[in-house]
Structure 1
Amino acid sequence: MNAFTTTGLPRALCVTGLLSMLSLGAPIALAQDAPVRIGLMLPSTGTYAALGAAITNGFKQYVDEQGGMLAGRKVEYFAVDDESDPAKATEKATRLIKRERVDLLVGTVHSGVALAMARVAQNTKTLMIVPNAGADELTGPLCAPTLFRTSFSNWQPAYAMGKVAAERGHKTVVTLTWKYAAGQQAIDGFKEAFEQAGGKVAKEMTLPFPNVEFQPFLTEIAALKPDAVFVFFAGGGAAKFVKDYAAAGLNKSIPLYAPGFLTDGTLEAMGEAGEGLLTTLHYADGLDNDKDVAFRRTYAQTYKLKPDVYAVQGYDAAQLYHAGLSAAGGDVRKQDVIIKAMENATVDSPRGRFTLSKAHNPVQNIYLREARGVDNKVIATPIEALADPARGCNM
């Protein structure tokens, strides 16, 4: 075979012409017909595995509701277990972006992992949606045009609870959390609102993550006799703390408050000790909107599970990207168009409609919930359309 094609042109010239067409963005049917490539970097093992599964379920539920497509294009998933390990995050995110060539990076639960992912995404100009991690930095100093969040900042639910505690007449509060960024940011958010209203955080206590030896702290709380206690715990540690708090008899004399992660997915494990707990979060059981009713029904039928806040955040991540991709006619190369449409979107979420701040964080209602059985029932909306202050964001 010679170096000429059947058209009589040199093969090298044909290849050069094809490369020129690609560089000029000439439409190629194969590229537009190819599936949208979604990278799901979420925990599938370890403490946060159930949260990662819920986020994945929610994302896929929205895609399935669109006929298995986003903006008329089929969807292909590339899933990686992030292991909730920040030390492995950079390599795993890079693999999804460089080797799998994902169009969208979705992740994650653990804030330390999300921060590392965000840096990789920004360096490669890859679109990324955070469906859980609440690190304030993501929509603060690390904010970027390509980075969006469909969950919350650690500041948001904690700030709302500071307002609630003050309105309930409490003057002194003791706080307790694991000693890590999420806990400290939640404490700071609570303290900001509580002390603005005239309250005083009498003492801030911490213990190493994931230590669950709470007895020394409970003894100190009993001696200090504050008006209330505010904590930040989640998962198995949250269930143990609440049970230990009740076993010490403190629940009868010192009200306990927290962001909703204390009781989301943990009420069954808490049993009677969790009954009546008040928490604040951007989602609750019993919201009176058609979207939530339909979402919960479909989720329960599809996955045989009760949906939670994590599933909602995954669902809304898919919904937000769909809004952007639709504006671009399904063309993933039109990133500027996609970003602008996502920035201007009003997301019809099961939590209630929300928009995005200039830092790409949800501007959303924060609900006061009361634990009743295994439900976190909405009893009030202490703050509507709460925007994170996005301190340090220069976007």
Structure 2
Amino acid sequence: MFRQIAFVGVAATMVSGAALAEDDVKLGLMLPYTGTYAALGEAITNGIELAIEENGGKLGGRSVNLMRLDSEAKPGKAPQNMNRLVNGEGADVIIGPVHSGVAMGMIKIARQEGAITIIPNAGLNAATRQFCAPNIFRTSFSAWQTAYPMGKMAYDRGYRKIATIAWNYSFGKESLEAFEEGFKAAGGEIVKQFLTPFPKVEFQAYLTEIASLKPDAVFAFYAGGGAVKFVKDYDAAGIKNAIPLLGSGFMTDGTLDAQGPAAEGVMTTLHYAASLDNPKNKSFQKAYQDTYGKAADIYAVQGYDAGQMLVQALDAVKGNTSDKDALIKALAAVKIDSPRGPWHFSKAHNPVQNMYLREVKNGHNVVVQVAAEAVDDPATGCVMAQ
């Protein structure tokens, strides 16, 4: 069974749920439940719950307590929030965050305290590179994984000269660097890189310059409201037919309804698409729709897989969370049958997974092909990967 406890903030008291039972597995969820990223936090939480419910609502034969703490997507609060869950509430496993800035604060405490931490979204490369640790796992992606494969895909489609553009912040820059690495390795040339102020969404001057450069295509990274505005502005500029738009998958994930016809034909790479034709994805989408009354997105998948890995690992250690070394070993050994396709952990604890080339057709991200199979992040600087 589930027990639900929610904390609004670090100083908050329990506001809902039952009292903790001594034999519960305590999962500390440090995710955004308010603000811009609240929908992502809820989707991840739903996915975790669904995976555990499919196992009878238990982990290793023990009841589960989900302790929700709103990260508010505020990096400055991350160390204090992490300490609250680890040392104050005694969480056996921490799951979070969404925001890469929050992840940096969480990782610092996780490394200091040895707290078992599962990252269900934040894609900063450093989490499974120079800041990797035996107790830190990620069920999502690295920035490199989602952009590097598009380099070869672009070259294979005949593009030889490409301009790149993204917000001037860490994930945007890491995405452009990864694409550029892949495109240059294939033989392509980057004619110009544009970095736009975050989180501003004034793109007209950049689009005018892109039109004058006449590259074969453009690769972009934007997400959320920025992706909606950029894709609409790109379409309105009248250059999409002459200069096709490519991107990291987050540019058209969760944004298509708002982008409307402007997104048609945009091609992206990502580790998931709702249209993936495999039995696990079909059963997952149905179960999620039946349970939550809406379609599952990539964030729900990443949460679901975090739940699946806990099911496997806790069953393997017969519910024993007191032996951290044994639990870490069991977590590292999981093999996940995911809606995105099968995956396993690299030595750096990042998923080794397929990346898919998708094209927006009739308002949906349709899988064109596997862009790259079993993509493993380089894990540069990770001592575990040596």
Aligned equivalents of 1:157, 1:48: Cα separation in 2: 20
Aligned equivalents of 1:294, 1:346: Cα separation in 2: 18
Aligned equivalents of 2:362, 2:95: Cα separation in 1: 33
Say if 2:168 is the partner of 1:173: no
Alignment of 1:169-208 (within 5 A): 169-208=158-197
Aligned equivalents of 1:292, 1:246: Cα separation in 2: 32
Once the two structures are TM-superposed, the CA of residue 344 in structure 1 deviates from its matched residue by: 1.7
Aligned equivalents of 2:56, 2:211: Cα separation in 1: 56
**Paired residues of 1:33 and 1:73 also in contact (CA < 8 A):** no
Return the index of the structure with the highest Cα Rg: 1
Match of 1:233 in 2: 222
Say if 2:51 is the partner of 1:59: no
Alignment of 1:103-122 (within 5 A): 103-122=92-111
TM-score, L = length of structure 2: 0.93
Once the two structures are TM-superposed, the CA of residue 285 in structure 1 deviates from its matched residue by: 2.3
Secondary structure at the counterpart of residue 51 of structure 2: helix
Say if 2:27 is the partner of 1:38: yes
Specify which of 349, 353, 356 is matched with residue 342 of structure 2. 353
Alignment of 1:91-106 (within 5 A): 91-106=80-95
Alignment of 1:239-250 (within 5 A): 239-250=228-239
- What stretches of structure 2 of length at least 5 have no aligned partner? 1-19
Specify which of 271, 286, 291 is matched with residue 282 of structure 1. 271
**Paired residues of 2:272 and 2:340 also in contact (CA < 8 A):** yes
Aligned equivalents of 1:377, 1:307: Cα separation in 2: 15
Pick which of 292-301 and 365-374 moved more: 365-374
Say if 2:365 is the partner of 1:365: no
Q: Which runs of 4+ in 1 moved over 4 A?
A: none
Match of 2:262 in 1: 273
Amino acid at match of 1:276: G
Alignment of 1:306-385 (within 5 A): 306-385=295-374
Aligned equivalents of 1:257, 1:244: Cα separation in 2: 14
Match of 1:128 in 2: 117
What's the CA shift string for 1:171-230, capped at 9, x where partnerless? 111111111110111111101110011111111111121110111111111111111101
Aligned equivalents of 2:205, 2:226: Cα separation in 1: 15
Secondary structure at the counterpart of residue 77 of structure 1: strand
TM-score, L = length of structure 1: 0.91
Aligned equivalents of 2:236, 2:40: Cα separation in 1: 28
Amino acid at match of 1:368: L
Once the two structures are TM-superposed, the CA of residue 153 in structure 1 deviates from its matched residue by: 0.3
Paired-residue identity, %: 52
**Paired residues of 1:324 and 1:337 also in contact (CA < 8 A):** no
CA root-mean-square deviation: 1.2
Pairs aligned (count): 365
Match of 1:262 in 2: 251
Once the two structures are TM-superposed, the CA of residue 322 in structure 1 deviates from its matched residue by: 1.9
Amino acid at match of 2:240: N
**Paired residues of 1:104 and 1:129 also in contact (CA < 8 A):** yes
Once the two structures are TM-superposed, the CA of residue 33 in structure 1 deviates from its matched residue by: 6.2
Aligned equivalents of 1:285, 1:98: Cα separation in 2: 38
**Paired residues of 1:283 and 1:309 also in contact (CA < 8 A):** yes
- What stretches of structure 1 of length at least 5 have no aligned partner? 1-30
What's the CA shift string for 1:4-34, capped at 9, x where partnerless? xxxxxxxxxxxxxxxxxxxxxxxxxxx9961
**Paired residues of 2:261 and 2:363 also in contact (CA < 8 A):** no
Amino acid at match of 2:359: E
